[in-house]
Chain A
Amino acid sequence: KQEVTQIPAALSVPEGENLVLNCSFTDSAIYNLQWFRQDPGKGLTSLLLIQSSQREQTSGRLNASLDKSSGRSTLYIAASQPGDSATYLCAVKGSNYKLTFGKGTLLTVNP
């Protein structure tokens, strides 16, 4: 059974700082890994999708890496802004289309 863990559970940083969010998963037989953002009371916004054959993906100030063999992914946010404050969720897709989520990291960027 796939289990996804995200560390830390919460993170508070001053504006402008670079930061890293961590995600680990127990079963390396995945098709892809997806990072989402969830704002309070809102739905999920897809940030980055990394296929199992890829090592990283970049979008603007975001960079996600994947090390499938060790069951780890990181989301790097450069030059953080108050608008980046949200919960960040990591999810891995295994067999049968199932997407298994971690419990998320609550990020607060202070002005």
Chain B
Amino acid sequence: DTAVSQTPKYLVTQMGNDKSIKCEQNLGHDTMYWYKQDSKKFLKIMFSYNNKELIINETVPNRFSPKSPDKAHLNLHINSLELGDSAVYFCASSQDGRANEQFFGPGTRLTVL
């Protein structure tokens, strides 16, 4: 019954590695997002996809590449991981339309050693 799910929940890896985080929503929403919550708990949007098309791309290093194979999935691939990438990454979704509520996944805690 999970509305927005993410895998893995925890990810510990070495600097320089490449890793992916997967997100799936079963709400039938058209828009999906990735947010980053830093060590000070501040949440900031990274990307947004609407109907598989990129509509928001904040100032994020090119090492981060989102991929949306279909409306229900938005994966985040990170190349050449750095210490500063350590954070909690949240996926969210909403029904198309600016006025609609966003629903969040449980988060993926990424630790780069």
Contacts and interface: CB of A to CB of B under 8 A. Distances in A.
B102 A103 contact: no
B44 interface: yes
A104 to B, nearest CB: 6
A98 B56 CA distance: 8
Contacts of B33: 97, 99
Interface stretch (B14-22, B66-74, B103-111): B103-111
Interface residues of A, number: 25
A43 B92 CA distance: 10
B48 interface: yes
A58 interface: no
Contact of B56 (A32, A36, A96): A96
B27 to A, nearest CB: 12
Given A87-B41, A98-B56, A104-B41, A42 B106 contact: yes
